[in-house]
């Protein structure tokens, strides 16, 4: 009985915050200078994940990119990633050609996230990686 009130209060607070964690880590390629900029908006995820390499080349006249993602965590991580493409003037390429893709990254594993430009005029990109939102996240702050 003594613990019921605090318990109910915790439930009240926890149950209402049903907003998923949508921040993550990413890389942004500003202009064509190939100066990759790593962005970590979610330090907690940033500790578990690292972007170790970014490679680009031309395939059939389209910009082809692979970003190496390395896990620094012993358990599997359920992640999603999305490439966004920009033309030479920095305009986003319109259309829903690059959805969030699910990926399971096993403990301390390394994987390459491949991205292919949807059109020939897409020259730069940004990549965002975040966790797949789960019910468990609703109970985190």
Partner 1 sequence: MKLLSVKSAAAVAMTSALLLSGCANKAVVSYGDAQAVETTDINFGSTDLQKVASQMTDSLLASPVVGTMTANTRPIVFVERIKNKTSEHIDTESITDSISTQLLRSGKFRFVDMTRVEAVREQLNFQNVDPLVNPNTAIAFGQQVGAQYMLYGNLSSIVKSNADKADVYYKFTMRLMDLKSGLVEWADETEIRKTREKSTFGW
By the rule CB under 8 A, 66 interacts with partner 1: no
Identified binder of partner 1 from the candidate list 32, 37, 72, 101, rule CB under 8 A: 101
By the rule CB under 8 A, 32 interacts with partner 1: no
Identified binder of partner 1 from the candidate list 21, 82, 111, 137, rule CB under 8 A: 82
Q: Tokens at residue 93, please?
A: 């390429």
Identified binder of partner 1 from the candidate list 72, 80, 105, 111, rule CB under 8 A: 80
By the rule CB under 8 A, 89 interacts with partner 1: no
The torsion angle over the Cα atoms of residues 48, 54, 60 and 61, rounded to 10 degrees, is 120
Contacts of 114 (CB under 8 A, 6+ apart): 64, 65, 66
| Phi, psi angle pair for 11, to nearest 5° | -60, -45
b/e string for 96-105 if b means 16 or more Cβ within 10 A? eebeeeeeeb
| Residue numbers at the binding site for partner 1 (CB under 8 A) | 1-2, 4-5, 8-9, 11-12, 15-16, 59-60, 62, 64, 80, 82, 95-102, 114-116, 118-120, 132-136, 139
């Amino acid at each position: 009985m003594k613990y019921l009130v605090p318990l109910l209060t915790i439930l009240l607070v926890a149950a209402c915050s049903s907003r998923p964690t949508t921040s993550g880590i990413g890389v942004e390629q500003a202009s064509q200078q190939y100066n990759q900029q790593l962005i970590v908006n979610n330090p907690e995820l940033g500790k578990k994940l690292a972007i170790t390499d970014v490679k680009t080349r031309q395939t059939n006249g389209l910009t082809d990119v692979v970003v190496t993602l390395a896990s620094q965590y012993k358990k599997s991580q359920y992640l999603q990633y999305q490439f966004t493409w920009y033309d030479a003037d920095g305009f986003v390429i319109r259309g829903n050609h690059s959805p969030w893709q699910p990926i399971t990254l096993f403990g301390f594993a390394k994987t390459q996230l491949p991205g292919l430009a949807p059109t020939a005029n897409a020259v730069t990109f940004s990549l965002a990686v975040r966790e797949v939102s789960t019910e468990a996240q609703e109970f985190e702050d």
